[in-house]
A and B are shown apart, each in its own frame.
Chain A
């Protein structure tokens, strides 16, 4: 049990993720392995991630490609089964849910918005059927007339015309498709939206419209967001708190302002230094040095040590845990020991 002071925080959290891990077996076929004496090959896509998302707020996960942020998103919505760990939604453990009506009722409250608006809408379906699908799947509305009304209202809500329901997805632009995607996600009145890079496939001019729409909807419907992105500007605009992931682990979780003003983890600093800045045009930006190591054979100890300027022997052998550091949580031996002054 958490101490009394923490309990109020816990009850406010809509989503609690605890030591979540997921491994993928990417071994070659059995016969091939036996003949060539190859071992199994396991990717540790997510290796023990914990976070909580308070009701009505946005937590963003950022990190380079391959750091496991998309896997976390898919674990949370139930597309993958976790290898280890728990996901609690409104107090209910999603990993222990049986496939019954109670599970259905919980799943109805979680929706997802996908990255590629050109792949996330079935090209053979009319928009009205796409938007109505969750309504029908969760049997929210039985009457077809009510479904049609709800679809028209949803399309209007996301800035499309109710008449657009007759059309097929290919008749829309990327931004409009993402609006359809949002309408679909909202149709069964969820509380929690998982957004997997919802604007990364869109033109910059359209990104802001979609982000603002999402913010307005959050306020209006008091939604909770788990927002996945690699774009720090987008994340800054959207989030209340930000989690920085590296190679399947969370290295820093901090309130948005704190993270941008005073990043603690060496990796977070590296990421922020790499952002282009209009006021500093012409300055040579320090690039994020080195490559992300393979998640098949992650480095021992702190996974970031091969690229870290402050790494020492402890970093190479001991995995750092998340520790409170002011209002942030940081997983770094150098920060803990105070040898991170650049």
Chain B
């Protein structure tokens, strides 16, 4: 009986309203396919990419500034051309997207953990605790996210020696983006928690003397996670963009591990000298990735909203 359980779970997914609303919109299916393809090829970049752009042995400066394959002077080895150091643009995009996605996922995860915890405590405790936490959230919202990220990065740069900073730069970036995005999670979770905590199942748990922490974790949390999923999806696009912005400004990941933002910045220098492909293709990849993720997030928000069904 248990051997069939996974198969049955799979059919259950295909039976749901969610799946039905998914298949009904070609836009959503298309963006899901694109998102999965981009994320998949970025995640498996070392196996998918035609070259390893970081392997100095295979680089040849004579290959520099090769245009894309369909233009005059294109080379069959470099589908989307090469950059100023003879690196294959397609490969750098895949490797770069890998870093962008890693930073995006990790910072959303961090923002989600922080925001959900703060929202749960504020909503469940209420009163002064709630007021203090929400005022902190209000104050946080008065600073643009990029400013906070720049601030965090600046402080870390000033405090740590350069070598150490380069090694942990990616984690600083994740922290900086995450810390500037926890408020939407906290607000949403606080609201749903305030609704859930007055329901009788929470009272039933209080009657048997469970601690507030235990009630928040095992009773309230599972019931407030639905909207969190939607926000996380929407925030993923934002986090990827924030990373690209910071890297474009030169305060993101070090050039030795270029993300999409770094690639765009580097390629920007050659835009007016005619080698447009060095910056346009990473830019297109970034825009496509963020757009498909955002479209998925929008659909998820509508599909999970019972009032819009």
- From A79, A110, A122, A134, contact of B223 by CB (8 A): A122
Q: Does A35 contact B (CB under 8 A)?
A: no
Min C-beta distance of B12 to chain A, whole Å: 12
- Which of A112-120, A220-228, A234-242 touches B? A112-120
A188 touches B206 (CB 8 A): no
Q: Does B70 contact A (CB under 8 A)?
A: no
User: Which B residues touch A44, using CB under 8 A?
Assistant: none
B200 touches A116 (CB 8 A): yes
User: Which B residues touch A125, using CB under 8 A?
Assistant: 222
> What mask results when residues 178 to 217 of chain B are scored 1 for a CB within 8 Å of chain A, else 0?
0000000000000000000001110111111110000000
B208 touches A123 (CB 8 A): no
User: Which A residues touch B203, using CB under 8 A?
Assistant: 74, 79, 112, 114, 120
Q: Does A18 contact B (CB under 8 A)?
A: no
User: Which B residues touch A112, using CB under 8 A?
Assistant: 203-204, 207
User: Which A residues touch B204, using CB under 8 A?
Assistant: 112, 114, 120, 184
User: Which A residues touch B223, using CB under 8 A?
Assistant: 122-124
B200 touches A137 (CB 8 A): no
Instruction: Report the bound CA distance from A103 to B205 in whole Å.
Output: 16
Q: Does A157 contact B (CB under 8 A)?
A: no
Chain A, 230-257, CB within 8 A of any chain B CB = none
The residue on A at minimum CB distance from B221 is: A124
User: Which B residues touch A103, using CB under 8 A?
Assistant: 209
B207 touches A79 (CB 8 A): yes
Instruction: Report the bound CA distance from A18 to B35 in whole Å.
Output: 66
Instruction: Report the bound CA distance from A125 to B202 in whole Å.
Output: 12
Min C-beta distance of A74 to chain B, whole Å: 8
Q: Does A309 contact B (CB under 8 A)?
A: no
Q: Does A23 contact B (CB under 8 A)?
A: no
Chain B, 250-298, CB within 8 A of any chain A CB = none
A77 touches B205 (CB 8 A): no
Chain A, 146-197, CB within 8 A of any chain B CB = 184, 188
Q: Does B219 contact A (CB under 8 A)?
A: yes
User: Which A residues touch B222, using CB under 8 A?
Assistant: 122, 124-125
The residue on A at minimum CB distance from B219 is: A122
- From B200, B201, B209, B219, contact of A104 by CB (8 A): B209
> What mask results when residues 58 to 89 of chain A are scored 1 for a CB within 8 Å of chain B, else 0?
00000000000000001001110000000000
A119 touches B208 (CB 8 A): no
- From B200, B205, B208, B219, contact of A107 by CB (8 A): B208
B219 touches A137 (CB 8 A): no
Q: Taking A122-B223, A124-B222, A137-B210 as contacts, is the C-beta distance between A115 and B200 under 8 angstroms?
A: yes
User: Which A residues touch B207, using CB under 8 A?
Assistant: 77-79, 107, 110-112
Chain B, 213-243, CB within 8 A of any chain A CB = 219, 222-223
Chain A, 184-212, CB within 8 A of any chain B CB = 184, 188
Supplied contacts A74-B203, A79-B207, 8 more A-B pairs, CB within 8 Å: A104-B209, A107-B209, A114-B200, A119-B201, A120-B200, A122-B201, A122-B222, A122-B223
| A-B CB contact pairs (8 Å), 23 listed | A74-B203, A79-B203, A79-B207, A104-B209, A107-B209, A110-B207, A111-B207, A114-B200, A114-B203, A115-B200, A116-B200, A119-B199, A120-B200, A120-B204, A121-B201, A122-B219, A122-B222, A122-B223, A123-B223, A134-B208, A137-B209, A138-B209, A184-B204
Contacts from B to A (Cβ < 8 Å): 199-201, 203-210, 219, 222-223
Q: Shortest 8 CB-CB distances between A and B: which pairs?
A: A120-B200, A124-B222, A114-B200, A122-B201, A137-B208, A119-B200, A119-B199, A134-B208
